[in-house]
Structure 1
Amino acid sequence: MQTLFKIATSAAAVCFSTLVFAQQKYSVSGTVKDKKNGELLIGVTVKVAEDPLISVIANEYGFYSLSLLQGNYTLIVSNPGYADFQHYIKVEDNVKVDIPLAQENERTAKIEEIVISKIKKDKNLTSAQMGTETLSIKSIEKLPVLFGEKDIMKTMQLLPGIKNNGEGKSGFSVRGGAADQNLILLDEAPVYNASHLLGFFSTFNSDALKDASIIKGNSPTQYGGRLSSVMDVKMKDGNNKDYNLNGGIGLISSRLSVEGPLQKEKSSFIVSGRRTYADLFLKGTKDYKDNTLYFYDLNLKANYQINENNRLYLSGYFGRDVLGLGNTFSSDWGNTTTTLRWNSIINSKLFSNTSLIYSNYNYKISLNSNNNTLGLDSKIEDWNLKQDFSWFAGNRHSVRFGLQSIHHTITPSKASGTSVSSFSRNSRYSWENALYLNDDFKATNKLTINYGLRLSSFSILGGDTYNIYKNGILTESKVLKKGDFGKTYVNLEPRITANYRLNEVSSIKGGYSRNTQNLHLLSNSGSGNPTDQWIGSSYTVKPEIADQISFGYSRNFRNNNYEFNAEIYYKSMKNQIDFKNGAQITFDTAADVESELLFGKGRAYGLELIAKKKSGKLTGWISYTLSKTERKIDGINNNEWYNARVDKTHDLSIVATYDLNEKWSFSGLFLYSTGNAVTFPTGKYELNGQTVFQYSSRNADRMPAYHRMDLNATYVPNSTKRFRGSWSFGIYNIYGRENAYTITFEDNPNNPGTTRAVQTSLFRWVPNITYNFKF
């Protein structure tokens, strides 16, 4: 009996050890790169052919990780714009597999890289993330744009739920949010004014960019600080295999980029610059030769691979606008950002990114007239430390967690000169912190859930006097000495989205998110000016809070070549800010702008539709948004709901590109939107010989509807192995619609007892010719 027990025990131990060994999982991890230039690729899908339930998405640094049992597998790798292929691996231990993807026009077929022709591109049906749009730089190259400058921000405004702020403007609103409620990041650094020339260009030179995505409110918890959206823009790393020079010459601007290896396949750099030269044309005129009007920007980035698991990046952006009218007026404003980043593969499942980030936005204005001088300047400066971890816990869990700490310095608008009562303004300091945890969980083969929690705090730091107002009336003042901590606001921000796959061609989604915002932009302009003033939360100004719920439906057709997405949303907002009626925003009173503010709540709701054709000679999309955005603030509009300035009922975009042959392609777009909500006068009276207009309900009127059509043609002549050129010809606003930029009111000179409206329109027809080259 004892002998039989020993035999049975031994057999059980052998079976158990065999079972444990058989069930042991190993990690297959690595990075995904562009085969031609070594650029790390973002958002690549890596699947396992033997088990379709096993798939991961490479993070924004190109890293992926799978957990597999011992055996033989086929990795299937796909990414838009790149040739899909499969890679055979034998798993007996943890293995590192770096994947080089070839662009579609450079497809190769080797033994270890076999092209797959029928991989389903159904990411919209499988991802739990809602309200997310990603654009590659290639996808915007042929679209018609203002002055011939391809612009990622202008293209984003052609998508549902994202509305432009006016003719030619780069500012935008998302799902009823103001322009300042969008977090705009360039290599993780916040950009506080993302426009040039009063908004007609964005700060983003597309030649220097790799990828751009926008998330409309339902962002993962690693993002925070804004209510409405996150626009995450990544710069190119630089070609680490060969030197390239590319650029373009247009009618009013030119650009040039240089990239190449510092040490082949180990380090690289890119330098990209752009400048307008409208001021050079002014020099040749008699009346405007002393005027200046130009902008420039410079993007720089370098990276160095320390070893196979560690890499350093250093990137920077420097941009400036200069506007001057002889010796009487000058204005310049600009951004500076710098990001120092350390990527580390800690092990086959854990990836670390550590970033030190600097951002500065400032403007200066001077005015000289009749021996009177006026100066105005302001600044917002950030130092930001960010530690982020990506943990591929298993094939069902992709976890993000980390922390962020930002020190803000805000110098509010300061005026000085002979024409105003000069005042001194102290810089205000604050400290913003956050902890976050996020999990992308594949619960079943049909259900994917992305959920997480963000804990944010905002502390007022000493160095200034803070007045406390209630309904615009001063009630108390607090003096904070340097080094002191004032009030601290703490908020929990839960977020969850889920995707359920109904069948092979359709899915439904739902989500809830809470976002908070502690930096606020005070603007008395519908279009946004460089002199708009940033302020932080204080004793009077509370953090803005938004709760959003959304539901969506996605369906693909004809082997995923056609795609349809629909989303509905409702967003409730607290602590919204607006100016009180008759607010005096002048230099003499600007020392305490908080006395002119009122606070209340807001709501936004709508329907977003987009249909895409993704392959073939003819590609493009149709997007439509039906929405409503309102505010309710005591002291405004008799304490009743009123239209927000960004409210537009209808917004329609039609975008198409047609590739005729290898040399010619054509594109066009048509836009239609309801006019912005504005306040027009309802009456007038005369006081001391001056006409004074009277106004009633806030934003109760509308600008005229906006619509236009643009066309573009691209011609690619014969190219050599080393040189490629192209010509772009386009017409902006081809049928000459005179869209209203502003409408002002004045006494009718033919009948002074009546009033006439005067419309200003900026562009009727704008032709452009641009020559692009690369070698």
Structure 2
Amino acid sequence: MQISSFKIAASIAAICFSTVVFAQQNFSVSGTIKDQRNGELLIGVAVKVAEDPSISINANEYGFYSLSLPKGSYTLMISNPGFRDFQQIINVEEDIKVNIQLSQEEKETTTNIDEVVISAVKKDKNLSSAQMGTETLSIKQIEKLPVLFGEKDVMKTIQLLPGIKSNGEGSSGFSVRGGATDQNLILLDEAPVYNASHLLGFFSTFNSDALKDASIIKGNSPAQYGGRLSSVLDVKMKDGNNKDYNVAGGIGLISSRLSVEGPIQKERSSFIVSGRRTYADIFLKTTDDFRDSKLYFYDLNLKANYQINDNNRLYLSGYFGRDVLGLGDTFATDWGNTTATLRWNSIINSKLFSNTSFIYSNYNYNVSLTSNDNTFGLDSQIEDWNLKQDFTWFAGNKHSVRFGLQSIYHTISPSSASGTSISSFPRNPRYSWENALYINVDFKATEKLTINYGLRLSMFSVLGGDTYNTYENGMIIGSEFLEKGKFGKTYVNLEPRITANYRINEVSSVKGGYSRNTQNLHLLSTSGSGNPTDQWIGSSYTVKPEISDQISAGYSRNFNNNNYELNAEIYYKSMQNQIDYKNGAQITFDTAADVESELLFGKGRAYGLELIAKKKSGKLTGWISYTLSKAERKINGINDNDWYNARVDKTHDLSVVATYELNPKWSFSGLFLYSTGNAVTFPTGKYELNGQTIFQYSNRNADRMPAYHRMDVSATYEPTSKKRFKGSWSFGIYNIYGRENAYIINFEDNPDRPGTTRAMQTSLFRWVPNITYNFKF
């Protein structure tokens, strides 16, 4: 027995010793990857080793990479879309740092690159990545697509992808895989944006001139993301050119924009300032009826960074945006976002990267009405203070581990009304503390199998400072006052997530995944497209965290040396603690009624098929996406306690997008959209009471708006110029064949045929031309 134990111990010691010896024979090769032209750190760049094709990693979102190699000579192969492929020979005899600068492809030389092997690295990411339901958007690609009023828009572009559906004409709100608008986590430099739209949804808050990267993840997000059920839209601002000063901008029919960037201290620190404003109100002043009206928005993006030394860098970024709408002295409303992020990047050692972020976010709105001597005011606010500590550990060429924590202090000021014609009731702010711990592992198990798995522990605590009622089916069953600073109800949830990719061969792969997400902030909306005055509430004694469980599977195949791509995914998502208003809910502001008394809770489900085919190279590029889906809710007290269509349910959704490069000066683009109409509730009968017509309604969301479809086209003229100053013209027509798509359908008594009812359709746009002059120097 002793001999056996000795042999076992000796064997374990030998294994450990051999592991240590093996580890000692490996050295770290690490560094950062930048854009040679402006010093911008590049995200997700592919790094391979020519001598060992099994070694393939991607730089993180801060441009840092790390791999392990035995002693010897190697050739690093670096590849990133839009940049020239790069090779560098290195001699590894100890841990070394290799910082890399990539040069951008010039327009006329893009087709001349013949390094086929390296080019394939960047074109088959859909086959090798374990992450599902993810799309990274090219800002250059966004700039070429035709959109409303000529404003290039990230939010509008993602709605052309499968599984992501627009909430209506001109709206920047969107739903993902059957989820509501508030179930999308929208981040700008890590700061949450609670209302990402301008002018009631016709523009988004994101000015493309200030952006570096944007990615959308549909439900299967890694564990570092949390707080929403359906998707993550992660948008990152440019760092600013640290080598030279640049000015860029555009002048359009109703808006203009201007960006300035440059070094503070050359190649050590930089800044960018980007602003935008509409001037539709200027045209209103030329009319007698609207001379005193206001209708505009502005936004301002600011960012600066400072490289302390080779291993440490500080970033400070901010966003300020506001909408102003008013009709003389009778009506005025304004709403807007403010965000700020202070971030410290630190390369702790050749394998460990740290990112510490202090984040502030604020969204608020104000409404005022004046009629004779009567006044009415309404306001609300949600404010966050956020600390996030994130580590990335490059454990080896096959392992990378991401772990950290996040802590958010929420202050939600509910809609509060005041005025001379109603009883004022200022409502107390409600405080809550949301925390999370997470770990996520990216593991290349074999040459063909890659797995991404993680776990997130989320905790949400109701804090004191207000009275919390408990309701059951709208009836109060309890009440508790919490003193400020006291802890109330705490919800704790574990969120496991896993996705896997199996590479069948060089041109195809299959994927599968499961994820659980929880959400503790909820948006109460009375419209499908969302309004600035929609109200945010947090989980409480009555409102429980929303929970979703999603399973998905996919197949990807590339053709013609990865120049064509086909991706298909199916999914099923079940949702708990879904929220909807009860029938006949009274949402008024002249009493102190608790809005939670008007809510009912139940479950939801969504399932569907998503297809997208892409052509990625050549003069003609673009994609065709199609979604076949169903989204339903089942809430006791609604629709006889049976399943009913969710407001966001659309059976069919089709997008066709194409861009054609005629020559170096002229390019053309177009898109066609078709979707099933939104689910709505139309009246089925009526009766008259005291001289007024009262409409009766049947099942919730049992009817449909008419099908939506339109076609947009645009052309860009960019004359060649050897000077520093470059200008271009963009021309476009939105809704070229003049389809009158329904925005609202109202029902009223028909004055021409007493006793009957007529439906009156309101449409927003037929033909909308745009001309924009863009410049940079």
- TM bin, normalised by shorter chain, reads over 0.9
Q: Flag the 1:106–1:718 CA change in 2: closer, same or farther, 3 A.
A: closer
Q: Tell me by how many angstroms 1:717 deviates.
A: 1.6
Check conservation: 1:426, 1:463, Cα contact below 8 A: yes
In the alignment, what sits opposite 2:371? 369
Of 206, 210, 213, 1:211 maps to: 213
Q: Distance in 1 between matches of 2:467 and 2:738?
A: 53
Matching residue within 556, 559, 568 for 1:554: 556
**Aligned amino acid, residue 585 of structure 1:** I
1:709-756: CA deviations, max 9, x gaps?
Answer: 000000012323311110000000000000000001000011120100
Call closer, same or farther: CA 1:590–1:669 in 2, change over 3 Å: farther
Indicate the residue corresponding to 1:281 in structure 2. Answer: 283
Alpha-carbon displacement from aligned partner over 1:56-82 (angstroms, at most 9, x marks no partner): 111110100001111111111111111
Counterpart amino acid of residue 61 in structure 2: E
Residue 160 of structure 2: aligned partner: 158
CA contact 1:102–1:108 (8 Å) conserved in 2: no
Number of residue pairs matched? 757
The normalised TM-score by structure 2 is 0.96
Residue 447 (structure 1) aligned to one of 443, 446, 449: 449
2:353 touches 2:392 (CA, 8 Å); kept in 1? Answer: yes
Decide whether the 8 Å contact of 1:86 with 1:115 is kept in 2: no
**Partner residue of 1:757 out of 739, 756, 759:** 759
* Residue of structure 2 equivalent to 1:329: 331
Is residue 246 of structure 2 the alignment partner of residue 227 of structure 1?
no
* Distance in 2 between residues matched to 1:591 and 1:303, nearest whole Å: 48
Q: Deviation above 6 Å: which 4+ runs of structure 1?
A: 16-19, 106-109
CA distance in 1, matches of 2:646, 2:248: 43
Counterparts in 2 of 1:382-393, with a 5 A limit?
382-393=384-395
For residue 283 of structure 1, report the CA deviation from its aligned partner: 1.1
**What SS class does the counterpart of residue 221 from structure 2 fall into?**
coil
Cα 1:583/1:96, change in 2 over 3 Å: same
Provide Cα deviations, 1:199-232, integer angstroms capped at 9, x if missing partner: 0000000000000000000000000000000000
User: Who is 2:32 aligned against?
Assistant: 31
CA distance, structure 1, for counterparts of residue 346 and residue 19 of structure 2: 35
Would the aligned equivalents of 1:312 and 1:343 in 2 still touch at CA under 8 Å?
yes
What is the alpha-carbon distance in structure 1 between the residues aligned to residue 51 and residue 686 of structure 2?
77
Verify the 8 A CA contact 1:84 1:115 in the aligned structure 2: no
Q: What's 1:508 paired with?
A: 510
The one-letter code sitting in structure 2 at the alignment partner of 1:397 is H
DSSP 3-state at the match of 2:283: helix
Deviation at 1:589, TM superposition (A): 4.2
Aligned to 1:128: 130
Higher mean alpha-carbon deviation, 95-104 vs 406-415, is at: 95-104
Aligned letter for 1:565? N
Residues 108 and 664 in structure 2, CA contact (< 8 A), matched pair in contact too: no
**Residue of structure 2 in register with 1:520 after alignment:** 522
Instruction: Note the C-alpha offset of 1:143.
Output: 0.6
Return the offset for 1:463.
0.2
In structure 1, the partner of 2:61 is: 60
2:288 is matched by which residue type in structure 1?
A: K
Is the 8 Å Cα contact of residues 108 and 115 (structure 1) preserved in structure 2? Answer: no
Distance 1:379 1:22 in 2: 54
Conserved in 1, the CA contact under 8 Å of 2:107 and 2:664? Answer: no
Per the alignment, residue 539 of structure 1 pairs with: 541
Secondary structure in 2 aligned to 1:751?
coil
Structure 2: distance between partners of 1:356 and 1:774: 33
- Give, in whole Å, the separation in 2 of the partners of 1:278 and 1:472: 44
5 Å-filtered alignment, 1:235-634, equals: 235-589=237-591, 591-634=593-636
Shift of the 743–393 alpha-carbon distance from structure 1 to 2, 3 Å rule, reads same
Aligned counterparts of 1:385 and 1:446: Cα–Cα separation in 2: 38
1:18, distance to aligned residue in structure 2 (A):
14
Q: Given the superposition, is the C-alpha separation of residues 470 and 18 from structure 1 closer, same or farther in structure 2, using an over 3 Å criterion?
A: closer
Q: Residue 620 of structure 1: SS of its match in structure 2?
A: strand
Return the alpha-carbon distance in structure 1 between the equivalents of residues 564 and 619 of structure 2.
13
1:76 corresponds to: 77
Q: For 2:22 and 2:723, locate their aligned partners in 1 and report how far apart those are by CA, in whole Å.
A: 53
Matches of 1:529 and 1:264 in 2, distance apart?
Answer: 45
Residue number in structure 2 paired with 1:740:
742
Deviation string 1:696-719 (CA, Å, 9 cap, x unpaired) is: 100000000000000000001232
Once the two structures are TM-superposed, the CA of residue 198 in structure 1 deviates from its matched residue by: 0.3
Q: 1:23 to 1:51 in 2, by over 3 A?
A: farther
Residue 653 of structure 2: aligned partner: 651
Give the aligned partner of residue 86 of structure 1.
Answer: 87
C-alpha spacing 1:67/1:389, structure 2 compared with 1 (3 Å): same
Q: What secondary structure, in the 3-state scheme, does the structure 2 residue paired with 1:20 have?
A: helix
Deviations 1:86-106 (A, max 9, x none): 111111000101111111118
Greater Cα shift, 630-639 or 94-103: 94-103
Q: Secondary structure at the match of 1:39?
A: coil
Which segment drifts farther, 230-239 or 748-757? 748-757
2:772 aligned to 760, 770, 773, which one? 770
Moved more, 339-348 or 48-57: 48-57
511-520 vs 114-123, greater mean Cα deviation: 114-123
Identity %: 84
TM-score by length of 1: 0.96
**One-letter amino acid of the structure 1 residue matched with residue 69 of structure 2:** L
Give, in whole Å, the separation in 1 of the partners of 2:721 and 2:252: 20
What SS class does the counterpart of residue 753 from structure 1 fall into?
coil
SS in 2 for 1:104: coil
Determine if contact 1:384/1:404 at 8 Å carries over to the other structure.
Answer: yes
- Where does structure 1 lack aligned partners over 5 or more consecutive residues? 1-12
Quick one: which of 637, 640, 643 aligns to 1:641?
643
Let me know the Cα RMSD of the aligned residues: 1.5
CA distance in 1, matches of 2:271, 2:24: 45
Offset at 1:287? 1.1
Q: 1: CA distance between counterparts of 2:129 and 2:87?
A: 22
Q: Which residue in 2 is equivalent to 1:5?
A: none
The SS at the match of 1:752 is: coil
